[in-house]
Chain A
Amino acid sequence: MLNQAFFVTWLAASVGLAGPVLLAAQGEIFAERAGVLNIGLEGTILLGALGSYLAAVATGSTPLGFVAGGVTGLAVGAVLALFYVGAQASQVVVGIVFNILAAGVASYVYDLAAGTSAPTIGLLRPVHLPVLSALPVLGPVLFRHPLPLYLTLLIVVLAQVVLFRTRFGLALIAVGEHPRAAHAAGISVARMRVIGVLLSGLGGGLAGAYLVTAQIGLYRDNIVSGEGFIALAIVIFGRWSPLRSLLAALVFGGADALQLSLQLFNDRVPAQVLLCLPYILTILAVSGLLGGRAQPAALMLPYRKE
């Protein structure tokens, strides 16, 4: 059982399962680095999934559906920014209430738009990258996935560069660490935070689109079951860094894939033990029990000019 074929299959499945939450985590990293914890990410992913599905059905084009998910996410991000930044409301409250609202809105709109007829859409097929997909081990693990995964990996690299190598990234991090210092340096705290929330919305919307267009092919009310919270966990476990969040996503995806395969062979190790482990590690990480704590100092705290 523990031969190479199993290992490769497991790794490939891990990468596949990690994709959507990793994508959502990239946007969330920017929001949290700017000081906004978007607990509403779960609802954002849900609405992105719905937007993407409806657009794909309406246009008959799955790629267009994927793009529509991102657009939906941006719109959702704008609404959230209004509350998080514009209204400076408690971020916990806004996020939790928004998730309930999003569940209601998604269910209502789906009922209204699709009713009882709910066609499946054509899934985005895995694309075997030339040359790369023929590599032993790495090929099947990394290079035989649908396009959104490659996009996600590209975004991870891009996010890492933007966050740590650009002036914008420096300003964003400063806003999340010491907003008054950033403000005194001429940076608009509100603008940076709005951008962060918009990116979180965009990432969440695309993650929802990813689920629909590349993994499931249809929409249900419970299509998003915790992906948003897993993405939050990945951000923490990845210590607010895009590259480390990639590893964190693989830990979550890996545990998930492993329990799926183990269920086939073995029922002595309960699947739930594997499933909970990443969450427990996340809890310990955020409590500073696994090395230091890297949480942005002003995370969740509103900032007012005067």
Chain B
Amino acid sequence: MLLAALAAFAVAGLLFIPYGTDPLSAYAFLFAEAFGSLRGFGFTLVQATPLILIAQGTVLAWRAGLGYVGFEGCFVLGAAAAAWLALGGTPDGFPYALPPALFFPAVLALSFAAGAVWAGMIGVLRVRFRGNEVLTSLMANYVAAFIVQYLVSGPMRQPGSLPQTPRLPRDTWLPYLIPEARTHAGILIALVASGLVAVLLRATPTGYEIIASGINARAARYGGIPVARRQMLAILLAGGLAALAGLGAVLGVQHRLMDGLAGGAGFVGIVVALLARLDPLAVVPAAILYGGLEVGGAAMQRDTGVPSAVVFILESLVVLFILGSGLLRGWRLPLPWSGRWRATSRKAAE
């Protein structure tokens, strides 16, 4: 696995050469930017926050055997819900008096619920009607994007400006932890969520039941586990976590709602979860690594003109190479849809 990652870095390193930068110093620069200073690390944490939350969502859903990939949709709807509460529903806002002590719990709950309901609909289609959740969740991403597009170009639009909402009131912003890097408290939400997911999956009977349902639903049912209910729980939590990533983007970074807010984080988060082998504790360092790559890549583009796309290539190559090397050694993850095809008819004896 380490070899595969090194190979990915080596291959991606070649991409620096046409720009007159040697790979080693390019990587040195990249990592120095991302991790070499408090400010850089602060930027890295900002990038890592949504990746952690979405990756934890992936871990939950995929461990339950659901190939849910609709995190972009949960992200934008979670963002919309947070913006709606922060703005009081309209561009003008209504004179509500939600004290800060209540606002943050309320906005967390509302945003989480938005994502949970969104993912939950896909979950119902899967567990109740056996609708292929990979396909339905991909399609649902577009529906969610259109809903947000409608909100920011219609009812929540700031009059006379781009299709986006007005700036959110200052006291609805997430507090900064590292002000110079605008590192917001979203990272704390992500870390707490990671701890909870880890405890849930590793140490509780419910987690045992989720994992059993994901690996072998038939055996789980035989063991008396309510498989559909456990899968629903997992997908509700997964959607909620991805929605909190959207909350962080709105209340922590942009301070307004706009179209295209997720920007692919819903998919990169899945890649992070894969890199972490669906282990909730490994998700945190993996997300910080990928967040750092993005910060370093952006800095490199500013300074040397090497396109930051190299970072995307690197991020995906790492996982592809691990997949490639894994198969050589029979390394297997309990991924949804990775089981072999099996005839549904009578099985031959052992």
Q: Mark A281-306, 1 if CB is under 8 A from B, else 0.
A: 01100111100010101111111100
- Flag whether A154 is at the interface (Cβ < 8 A): no
Flag the segment in A53-61, A83-91, A125-133, A206-214 that touches B.
A83-91
Does A279 have its Cβ within 8 Å of any Cβ on chain B? yes
Choose from B135, B141, B310, B333 the contact partner of A236 (Cβ within 8 Å).
Answer: B135
A93 adjacent to chain B (CB < 8 Å):
yes
B140: chain A residues within 8 A (beta carbon): 279, 283
Give the contacting residue for B267; candidates A96, A286, A302; CB below 8 A.
A96
Which of chain B's residues has its CB closest to A79's CB?
B320
A112-147 interface code vs B (CB 8 A; 1 in, 0 out): 100000000000000000000000000000000000
B160 within 8 A of A: no
- The answer to the question of B319 belonging to the interface, with a C-beta cut-off of 8 Å to chain A, is yes
Query: How long is the Cα–Cα vector from A105 to B314 in the complex, in angstroms?
Result: 10
Q: Is the CB of B324 within 8 A of A83?
A: yes
Stretch at the interface among A19-27, A69-77, A268-276: A268-276
| Contact B146–A97 (Cβ < 8 Å) | no
How many residues of chain A have a CB within 8 Å of chain B?
A: 58
Do A270 and B312 form a contact, CB below 8 Å, given A100-B271, A302-B340?
no
1/0 per residue A223-253: CB within 8 Å of B? 0001001001100100000000000000000
Instruction: Tell me if A7 counts as interface (CB < 8 A to partner B).
Output: no
- Across the interface, which residues of A come within 8 angstroms of B274, CB to CB? 93, 97
Within 8 Å by CB of A92, from B317, B320, B335, lies: B335
Does A101 sit at the interface, judged by CB under 8 A? Answer: yes
In the bound complex, how far is the Cα of B15 from the Cα of A298, in angstroms?
39
Contact A286 B132 (CB under 8 A): yes
* CB pair A96 B270 closer than 8 Å: yes
Contact across chains for A100 and B264 when beta carbons are under 8 A apart: yes
A280 within 8 A of B: yes
In the complex, the answer to whether A280 meets B143 with C-beta atoms within 8 Å is yes
Q: Which residue of A lies closest to B142 (CB)?
A: A279
CB distance from A166 to the nearest CB of B (A): 24
Q: Does A188 contact B (CB under 8 A)?
A: no
Interchain CA distance A273-B310 in the complex, whole Å: 37
B311 contacts which of A104, A276, A288 (Cβ < 8 Å)? A104
Q: Do A232 and B135 form a contact, CB below 8 Å, given A99-B267, A107-B312?
A: yes
Closest chain A residue to B140 by CB distance? A283
Q: By the criterion CB–CB under 8 Å, are B309 and A104 in contact?
A: yes
* CB contact between B134 and one of A92, A275, A279 (< 8 Å): that residue: A92
User: CB of B91 within 8 A of chain A?
Assistant: no
A107 surroundings in chain B (CB, below 8 A) = 307, 309, 312
Q: A279 near B327 (CB under 8 angstroms)?
A: no
Contact between chains at A111 and B69 (CB < 8 Å):
no
CB distance from A249 to the nearest CB of B (A): 15
**Is there contact, CB below 8 Å, between A111 and B307?**
yes
By a CB distance below 8 angstroms, the chain B residues around A280 are 139, 143
Is B323 a contact of A286 with CB atoms below 8 Å? no
Question: How distant is the Cα of A289 from the Cα of B131 in the complex, in angstroms?
Answer: 9
The 8 Å CB contact of B323, one of A39, A89, A111, A229, is A89
Q: Which residue of chain A has the shortest Cβ distance to B121 in the bound complex?
A: A283
Q: Which of B131, B309, B335, B344 contacts A105 (CB 8 A)?
A: B309
In the bound complex, residues from chain A placing their C-beta under 8 Å from that of B149 are: 272
Asked if B284 is at the interface of the complex by the 8 Å CB criterion, the answer is: no
The answer to whether the Cβ of B161 comes within 8 Å of any Cβ in the partner chain is no
The answer to whether A104 touches B135 (Cβ under 8 A) is no
What residues of chain B lie closer than 8 Å to A108, measured between beta carbons? 15, 307, 309-310, 313
A103:B312 contact, CB within 8 angstroms: yes
A179 interface residue per 8 A CB criterion: yes
The residue on B at minimum CB distance from A295 is B132
- Would B338 and A90 count as touching, CB distance under 8 A? yes
Tell me whether B147 and A283 are in contact (CB under 8 A).
Answer: no
Which residue of chain B is the closest to A237 with respect to CB atoms? B139
Given A107-B307, A272-B149, CB of A92 within 8 Å of CB of B337: yes
Is A100 in contact with B131, judged by CB distance below 8 angstroms?
A: no
Structural contact, B67 and A270, CB atoms closer than 8 A: no
Report B-chain residues with C-beta under 8 Å of the C-beta of A288.
129-131
**Among A92, A101, A288, residue most surrounded by chain B Cβ atoms (within 10 Å):** A92
- Is the CB–CB distance between A92 and B336 below 8 Å? yes
Q: Judge if B158 is at the interface, Cβ distance under 8 Å.
A: no
Tell me which residues across on chain B come within 8 A of A276, comparing CB atoms: 142-143, 146-147
Q: Would A92 and B143 count as touching, CB distance under 8 A?
A: no
A287, B310: Cβ atoms closer than 8 Å: no
**What residues of A have a CB within 8 angstroms of the CB of B314 in the complex?**
104
B-side residues, CB < 8 A to A, are 15, 18, 67, 69, 125, 129-132, 134-136, 138-143, 146-147, 149-150, 153-154, 264, 267-268, 270-271, 274, 307, 309-317, 319-320, 323-324, 327, 333, 335-344
Q: Could you jot down 6 A-B contacts, CB within 8 Å?
A: A87-B324, A90-B337, A104-B311, A107-B309, A283-B131, A293-B130
Closest 7 CB pairs of A and B: A287-B131, A104-B312, A107-B309, A101-B316, A104-B313, A301-B341, A272-B146
